[in-house]
Amino acid sequence: MTSHIRYDNKKLFVEDIPAALLAEKYGTPLYVYSSNQIAEQFRILKDTFDIVPNLKFLYALKANSNSELLKLISSLGAGADTVSAGEIFLALRSGFAPDSISFAGVGKTDYDLDFALDRGIGTIIAESDEELRAISERAAAMSKTANVSLRINPDVDARTHPHISTGLKENKFGINIRDAVGSARAAAKMKNIRLVGIHSHIGSQITEVEPFAEAVNSIREFLAKLSRDGIEVSQIDLGGGIGVRYKNALKDRLLPTETSEEPSIDLRTLAKVVKDGLSSSGYEILMEPGRFLTAESGILLTRVLYRKESSGRTFVIVDAGMNDMMRHALYSAYHQVVPVELGEKAFELVDIVGPVCESTDVFAAQREISRVDRGDLLAIMTVGAYGYSLASNYNSRLKPAEILVDKDYSRIVRDRENLEDLV
Ligand SMILES: Cc1ncc(COP(=O)(O)O)c(C=O)c1O
């Protein structure tokens, strides 16, 4: 796999531009994305899943909904997986055709449903019996018929972080697979609903094929039950969840090696599981990757503000905070943190923390890194997914700018906020 974020002559580059130059030009903290890395990730998916006939990828906007990234991803040929009227709006504005958009989410408001119906969105994914009735009512009021996919909860353990596990029966998502035949029967009778598919999303950052295989089996069994009831669908949506590697995004003799017990999903085996399990009956198969497309394309550049020694610990305080990138605060997520310029300085054990008034405002705890001082630049790696999209104004901090790089050309794709934006 080609990596478009790499060291060259001890300097970190995003495509053909030194990261230090970007920090100088646009300030820090700064999200920087590589457009060719996104294209590369899409190519990997397409090539690997080429063996599955009639398969389409819908990009999950929640991972990163910057509209310039969306334009790029729609131009590559993906559809869109959305969860709010806002995401539908962004997808349409960024070039996704209405019928290539699906709309999921456990708590869609009437406003959301009307918005989706009015815009002719491809599929609405229903997550409860009550929601099915609401979709039917809203569609009837607009004299429309809604294409609906039923989200089943297959009770599969995705073996990922509990906060991003969604396919267990105790999770709020989808309709319990035991009750879902009844829901499908009811849906099939509703006048303003066309039941077109079955949907399942079991979690995010999944690094093993087995949970997907279990979900595929559950879906097959479920489809057989539906068939016995005379209900046929044409679409199977397997959701998102393909995991990425967070450790050793960059390797160099001047970087500490990150001990990696990190499992990595075998995409070829996954593609085979999908093909063998589902493709024989001519279904249209959908997958909704978010993280896989954007995570590795993004870095967060941040400058060291201070060093502080306290009770035997060394804190490196940087100008990015948990409001800019909260994955560590939310899920204790691991991100490699590297110097923008490599030096021969000795490694030391430090806590890399932000300025926010929370003890969870940490990017790396007790992490080995070569010594950095006030003014030095660091890059937090693999933040292109669930980075900016989770950012907030907590502590009335201004959200950072976002920059998109294509070879030797960089441009602002979202301005840094200014104080007036807080009012
Ligand atoms: C319904 C649905 N589809 C797709 C995704 C994208 O998941 P990922 O970014 O792990 O691919 C999510 C994420 O939570 C989701 O809830």
Q: What is the pLDDT of residue 157?
A: 72
Q: Which of 289, 315, 341 is the last residue of a domain?
A: 289
Q: What is the DSSP letter of 259?
A: P
63 lines ligand 1 (CB under 6 A): yes
Distance CA 81, CA 288 (A): 6
Domain membership of residue 258 as a residue range: 52-289
Q: What is the DSSP letter of 88?
A: H
350 lines ligand 1 (CB under 6 A): no
Q: What is the DSSP letter of 252?
A: -
Closest atom of ligand 1 to 290 CA is: 9
Q: Are 143 and 230 part of one and the same domain? A: yes
Distance CA 171, CA 159 (A): 14
Distance CA 22, CA 29 (A): 11
CA of 414 to the centre of ligand 1 (A): 23
CA of 12 to the centre of ligand 1 (A): 30
Could you tell me the CA-to-CA distances from 54 to 171, 244, 293 in Å, in that order?
30, 25, 20
240 lines ligand 1 (CB under 6 A): yes
CB 355 within 8 A of CB 268: no
Measured by CA distance, the residue closest to atom 5 of ligand 1 is: 240
The average pLDDT across 140-169 equals 83
The average pLDDT across 151-170 equals 74
Q: Which of 289, 309, 324 is the last residue of a domain?
A: 289
CA of 371 to the centre of ligand 1 (A): 37
The CATH number assigned to the domain holding 163 equals: 3.20.20.10
Report, as residue numbers or ranges, the catalytic residues: 357
> Which among 168, 91, 166, 103 is positioned nearest to 131, based on CA atoms?
103
Angle at 83 (CA atoms; ends 77, 85), nearest 5 degrees: 95
Q: How many domains does the chain have?
A: 2
400 lines ligand 1 (CB under 6 A): no
Distance CA 256, CA 249 (A): 12
Q: Are 231 and 133 part of one and the same domain? A: yes
Please tell me the pTM assigned to this model. Answer: 0.96
Q: Give tens-digit pLDDT for 81-125.
A: 999 999 999 999 999 999 999 999 999 999 999 999 999 999 999
Rg (CA), the chain: 23
Across 11-87, where does the E strand assignment appear?
11-14, 17-18, 30-34, 55-60, 79-82
- Return the residue matching tokens 């077109």: 196
In this predicted structure, the answer to whether residue 1 has a pLDDT above a threshold of 80 is no
The answer to whether residue 24 sits within a structural domain is no
The average pLDDT across 346-359 equals 96
